[in-house]
Chain A
Amino acid sequence: MMYSSVMLKRLTNLNFFKKQYMLYSSISGNIQDLSYRGINKVNFIPTLDINEPSLNSMPIFRILDDNGDIVSNCNSVPVIIPENDELLKMYKSMVLLSIMDKILYESQRQGRISFYMTNEGEEAAQIGSAAGIHFNDQVYGQYREAGVLLFRGFTPEQFMNQCFGNIEDLGKGKQMPVHYGSKDLNFVTLSSPLTTQLPQAVGTAYSFKLLKNNRCTIVYFGEGAASEGDAHAAFNFASTLNCPIIFFCRNNGFAISTPANEQYRGDGIISHGPGYGIATIRVDGNDILAVYNATLKAREYVMTNTRPLILEAMTYRRGHHSTSDDSTAYRSKDEIEQWANKNPITRLKKFLEKKNLWNDQYELEYTKDTKKQIMQMFAIASKKNKPNWKEMFNDVYYEIPDHLLEQMNSLENHISHYPEHYVIE
């Protein structure tokens, strides 16, 4: 008791002393000897202010306007326009993606595949960024990044094999459609739980930093996913552990039915940047040249500084969230129509036409050929067998443990008694 009352007195004195000292220091306004760990510079002020968030939004970087013209004041920055071949590759990839989307979306409506998610409206964000990083950089995605994979060389057959879960599927038929992955293309297999890939991408970036292998990671996520706790974890880890990673946010205005203004109240996703000490870029996600340049710049930044960067591509999800969603239940057809006129594919097309790289005749032929090819591939993918059911027990572990072998044998025994109740290929 004695001891604690003495301590209490000491504490009170200390507090009193502190108060005096702080009052004195704020008046003198000339404090050099105090420091707080975790903040850079110490300043005191004698007025009690509430720091309101800024009402201004960060501007959006843009190169192409809606007519496909380079915006007039763009000369002030060194903008990189890709070579003609690269431009055409970017354009054709966007068109191919949108054609594949239409065919697979329709096939789901006809019950040929169980599920699908289109990329409508976000083709430029995906393909522009894919063109801006190095092939060796590791990609972690959410699920609306098929364009990145396509640009890296994933073939329409491979997409369809995954959607059908047939014997050629690299994922061996285990995941839902659109959960793509490719080791060869440095694209980590997607999973459904949102945002889990963010801290993982940070870990991979840290590994690259240790190995000094001149690689970075880019991790894609939607603005809805940014509300998950894992996003906080990832931003903070990437910053404190100095990781070379690009956080690429597709801010398309909706998380299923939830509009972005019910998702956050700050200035979008890049507003997280300053709080975590992370650099940011906000870009027009429907302008493939802007996305391309922003990603180039972002990559250069993360590699030179060994620091993370948040890149927010502002766009609009033109399609439904998925084949299990009818988005007209929560947004107007007018609104969707309005954004259809800001189609990122059309915008690049206009630019290419002005450079005499493309015209309606090319368009017609390319579209026709592509549709035909994809329909053929679709027919082939749909006829391929499913993997053997025993595959179900593989890859749970590196090895197959005894209890799983036992369960596999038990299923084999069961099937031998009831084969007529199963579809065995």
Chain B
Amino acid sequence: MHAINKYSLFNVSKKLCGCFKYASHFVYHPEQISNKFGKTNKKNMYQAINEAMDLVLSKDSNSVVFGEDVGFGGVFRCTSGLRDRYGKDRVFNTPLCEQGIIGFGIGLAVAGTTAIAEIQFADYMFPAFDQLVNEAAKYRYRSGNLFDCGKLTVRTPCSAVGHGALYHSQSPESFYAHSPGLKIVIPRGAHKAKGLLLSCIRDPNPCIFFEPKMMYRLAVDDVPDDDYEFPLGKADVLIKGRDITLIGWGTQVHVLLEVAEIANKDFGISCEVIDLVTILPWDKQTVANSVKKTGRVIVSHEAPLTGGFGAEIAASIQEECFLYLESPIRRVTGYDTPFPHVFEQFYLPNKWKCLQAVKELVNY
């Protein structure tokens, strides 16, 4: 299942220059961070992720990093330098076989080794679906806690990249959200990525860490050099507002932040923006508190509408906040089509679609 790697993706975009415009559909909002985690430096998301793995490998001698092409640094450079530092027994290539990678990772974790597996693109996780859903997710439960694979973390690049088409753009989080036993986490940038990845690796449950690939180079934050973690299962309220709640994760958070700015500036609408951060188990409390205050809500994700995680959030909100809702819950998402190549700009739930939804709901 070899993917067109990052280089070919970028090369294609250069060669076709003039035919297509690959400006990203969002503006990255760097993190405003306190210095509570110590000294920081400007890093992009792949560097932050690399640092997280570097920290784990240096502190935990029984930890390994593996997957397709991770040895030379990975097709997105996330593992660069690690093999030189920790040896080819601890940072290594596997044969090209996703079900093998995850099964192998589970076995490492069962034996107590910290296993950080990489699936080259989230689009190629499906061959490992059985190992993730039937095995990893259910290991502790079915054995009465005799065995578990809590030391397994699966990292994988996900979401739109401008021209990734069907198999380099998918956001498959909702497939896994239906699988009790897994934790699913998606960072919105470099600062969050490092802390959340460290939490995932150390969490005693198997975690899937989706990395929105468009942000690998684009998302530059002040990232602490030290070790730090963020709690899993906790959403972040990024902008406080009165009129409507906007919920997203990953890249889409930045779309929503921009929507909030425009809505405020041009229409005087006060939006509350929430990054869900963890898809499973998700932070219902933070979401419900916000919706009870604003009375209106939009959930927005790149993945298709039907069966998307937005449906789960919307259903829970109507159950928790029925008496507080002043308009229907709206989902602004990808369409129920495969992710297209030349139509990407029409497909994505971009800021204009979200803005239209905000105006419609506020005027409902």
- Contacts from A to B (Cβ < 8 Å): 138, 169-172, 174-175, 179, 181-183, 188-189, 191, 193, 196, 198-208, 210-211, 217, 229-230, 232-234, 236-237, 240-241, 394-399, 401-404
Cβ-defined contact, B146 with A398, below 8 A: no
| Given A201-B107, A203-B115, residue A210 in contact with residue B64 (CB < 8 A) | yes
| Given A200-B135, A241-B94, residue A170 in contact with residue B144 (CB < 8 A) | yes
Residue of B nearest to A196 (CB): B135
| Given A188-B147, A236-B97, A402-B285, residue A204 in contact with residue B89 (CB < 8 A) | no
Residue from the list B111, B135, B146 in contact with A193, Cβ < 8 A: B135
Q: Which residues of A contact B148 (CB under 8 A)?
A: 398
Residue from the list A175, A229, A396 in contact with B99, Cβ < 8 A: A229
Distance, CA A174 to CA B183, complexed state (A): 21
| Given A171-B144, A179-B142, residue A207 in contact with residue B113 (CB < 8 A) | yes
Cβ-defined contact, B94 with A237, below 8 A: yes
A-B contact list, 21 entries, CB within 8 Å? A174-B142, A181-B143, A188-B143, A191-B138, A193-B130, A196-B131, A198-B103, A202-B103, A203-B106, A203-B109, A205-B107, A210-B90, A210-B113, A230-B131, A236-B100, A237-B100, A394-B145, A395-B141, A396-B180, A402-B285, A404-B281
| Given A171-B142, A189-B142, residue A199 in contact with residue B89 (CB < 8 A) | no
Task: Write the nearest CB–CB distance from B316 to chain A, whole angstroms.
Answer: 9
Task: Write the nearest CB–CB distance from B338 to chain A, whole angstroms.
Answer: 24
Q: Which residues of B contact A198 (CB under 8 A)?
A: 103
Residue from the list B90, B100, B284 in contact with A199, Cβ < 8 A: B100
| Given A200-B107, A234-B100, A237-B94, residue A171 in contact with residue B146 (CB < 8 A) | yes
Cβ-defined contact, A398 with B140, below 8 A: yes
Task: Write the nearest CB–CB distance from B47 to chain A, whole angstroms.
Answer: 27
Query: 7 shortest A-B CB distances, which residue pairs?
Result: A203-B107, A199-B103, A233-B100, A189-B143, A207-B111, A200-B107, A398-B204
Cβ-defined contact, B141 with A207, below 8 A: no
Task: Write the nearest CB–CB distance from B149 to chain A, whole angstroms.
Answer: 8
Cβ-defined contact, B146 with A402, below 8 A: no
Q: Which residues of B contact A191 (CB under 8 A)?
A: 134-135, 138, 142
Q: Which residues of B contact A402 (CB under 8 A)?
A: 233, 281, 284-285
Cβ-defined contact, B103 with A403, below 8 A: no
B105 is an interface residue with CB less than 8 A from chain A: yes
| Given A170-B146, A191-B138, A208-B111, residue A398 in contact with residue B205 (CB < 8 A) | yes
Distance, CA A247 to CA B25, complexed state (A): 51
Q: Which residues of A contact B144 (CB under 8 A)?
A: 169-172, 174, 181, 189, 395
Cβ-defined contact, B104 with A203, below 8 A: yes
Cβ-defined contact, B111 with A204, below 8 A: yes
| Given A193-B130, A196-B131, A230-B99, residue A403 in contact with residue B281 (CB < 8 A) | yes
Residue of A nearest to B105 (CB): A203
| Given A203-B108, A401-B281, A402-B285, residue A233 in contact with residue B103 (CB < 8 A) | yes
Cβ-defined contact, A395 with B145, below 8 A: yes
Task: Write the nearest CB–CB distance from B127 to chain A, whole angstroms.
Answer: 8
Task: Write the nearest CB–CB distance from A17 to chain B, whole angstroms.
Answer: 27
Residue of A nearest to B111 (CB): A207
Q: Which residues of A contact B92 (CB under 8 A)?
A: 241
Q: Which residues of A contact B64 (CB under 8 A)?
A: 206, 210
Cβ-defined contact, B141 with A204, below 8 A: no
Cβ-defined contact, A181 with B108, below 8 A: no
Q: Which residues of A contact B150 (CB under 8 A)?
A: 398
Distance, CA A229 to CA B140, complexed state (A): 24
Q: Which residues of B contact A181 (CB under 8 A)?
A: 143-144, 146-147
Distance, CA A371 to CA B143, complexed state (A): 29
* Additional A-B contacts beyond A138-B111, A210-B62, A233-B104 (9; CB < 8 A): A170-B144, A196-B130, A200-B107, A201-B107, A206-B64, A230-B131, A237-B100, A397-B281, A404-B281
Distance, CA A237 to CA B98, complexed state (A): 11
Residue of B nearest to A174 (CB): B142
Cβ-defined contact, B110 with A203, below 8 A: yes
Q: Which residues of B contact A182 (CB under 8 A)?
A: 146
Q: Which of B101-157 contact A (CB under 8 A)?
A: 102-113, 115, 127, 130-131, 134-135, 138-148, 150
In the complex, which of the residues B99, B143, B183 has the most CB atoms of chain A within 10 Å of its own CB atom? B143
